[in-house]
A = this chain, B = another copy of it.
Amino acid sequence: MESLLETLQEGNAGRIEASVADLHPADVAQLLEGLTPEERPIVWTELSPTTLGEVLVEVSEGVREQLLQDIQKDTLVSAIRYLDIDDIADLIPDLPDEVLADVLFGVDKEARASLGEVLSYPEDTAGGLMNVDPVVVRENISVQVVLRYLRLRGELPEYTDKLFVVGRNQRLNGVLPISKLLTAPATDRVRLHVDTDPFLFNVLDTQEDVAKSFEKYNLISAPVVDDEHKLLGRITIDDVVDVIREDADHSVMARAGLKQEEDIFAPVSRSARSRALWLGVNLITAVIASWVISQFEATIERLVALAVLMPIVASMGGNAGTQTLTVVIRGLSMGTITRANMGRVLKKEFLVGGLNGIFWAFAVALVAVIWYQDVYLGGIIALAMIINLVAAAISGVVLPILLSRLGIDPALAGGVALTTVTDVVGFFSLLALAALFLV
């Protein structure tokens, strides 16, 4: 891969053609993401329609947008037609209108109906995630008959670890694991080996809940049903792994105010714009902290050491608070922190904050005393540190809980909210204490 990138930079197109054809679509996707928008056409023009389709599914959103805009309409249509229904459904929101029309004309009637079905559910639900290809059997036939049916049917859909057993009106009666099919006596009825209480999802379950269950219960595939328990489709682990990765990506990126689909080689003006909003929010919080400082200008003028030491108090608070915040956000998303034990989490973090506050208050006071030979200044900064670390602990617990109740993603807004608190409390406690007792 790396050498392919280097070859590209040397402009040796002949060698590229040979190499790209051998790559897995996922590798082509990664290669494209590492190239600048100008270089990408060299790669994608070498791809067969089937590979191109898979690449469109695998590639990150920023690159996909470019591909959908730049690739010729006919090529695009034939690339998309080869894909699975659920993958086409995922691409549809991004497709240019005329391509969409051609894709819909191109697929057969049955596929069009399935596509309509999948598209009728929000993208981030079990319905949006499901595929409509479950292999269905009845429970009163024998294992032997099922085996014969499968042989006649030919190729199984990917990730088929179980068949779905339905009754009247497609109601799901249970699932038949493939391993049972292989090991049960051939004359046994299916009924004998059906798991009648399988993990299943309602079509409107959120994709986060689906991902959590797949992860927790180690599923490969699971049925999706509607409120009447009618089998609508199945969800497979490959799509769930993508959800898990996207979730994880999201929480890392959101903390820095970034969208997860950020294309590393997006045009400069676009990247600058997409990041500017976050800097704007940060400017507001920074101005609030500065305003607090400005209330004590006279104090600082008389004791300029305060200006030197105040960032220490603020930054220690910010770091301690971020630790608590991170633990709490994780606990909330994993479900280990709930309404029932929230109070105890707060108590624990309060104690940790207090303990670390006392410890680091001594350390910071020591620094201040050595630096400025002023014991009173040391005492004041120690007190400010304890106050700020306790405030940090409390806000680290309370803010994310509050934000989630308000429907705001704590991974996105928690950090800014927290450092606003720790900056304000840090600056205020040091300067106000100094104004009261020192100056």
User: Which of A's residues lie within 8 Å of B, judged by CB?
Assistant: 1-2, 5-6, 9, 24, 26-27, 30, 33-36, 147, 150-151, 153-156, 158-161, 178-179, 181-186, 214-218, 220, 237-238, 241-242, 244-245, 247-249, 251-253, 255-258, 262, 264-265, 268-269, 271-272, 275-276, 278-280, 282-283, 285-287, 289-290, 293-294, 297, 300-301, 304-305, 307-312, 314-316, 319-320, 322-323, 325-327, 330-331, 334-341, 344-345, 348, 351-352, 355-356, 359-360, 363-364, 367, 371, 419, 423, 427
Contact = CB atoms under 8 A, between A and B. Distances in A.
A308 B300 CA distance: 10
B183 A327 contact: no
A179 B182 CA distance: 11
Given A156-B183, A159-B220, 6 more contacts: A30-B336, A35-B341, A271-B352, A275-B323, A280-B363, A294-B371
7 contacts: A9-B340, A182-B182, A256-B325, A271-B352, A289-B311, A300-B304, A315-B423
A218 B344 CA distance: 41
A352 B275 contact: yes
Contacts of A26: 216-217
B265 A348 contact: yes
A41 to B, nearest CB: 16
Contacts of A294: 305, 308, 371
Contact of A155 (B2, B179, B218, B304): B179
B312 A290 contact: yes
Contacts of A253: 326, 330
A419 B209 CA distance: 36
B283 A312 contact: yes
Nearest to A355: B272
A262 B33 CA distance: 35
Contacts of A248: 244-245, 247-249, 251-252
B311 A256 contact: no
A355 B316 contact: no
B264 A290 contact: no
Given A179-B160, A252-B330, A283-B316, A272 B322 contact: no
A340 B5 contact: yes
A332 to B, nearest CB: 10
Given A26-B216, A340-B2, A316 B282 contact: yes
A206 to B, nearest CB: 17
B255 A27 contact: no
Most chain B CB within 10 A, of A179, A257, A258, is at: A179
Given A182-B156, A348-B264, A1 B312 contact: no
A24 to B, nearest CB: 6
Contacts of A256: 319, 322-323, 325-326
Contacts of A297: 304-305, 307-308
Contacts of A184: 151
Nearest to A153: B183
A351 B269 CA distance: 9
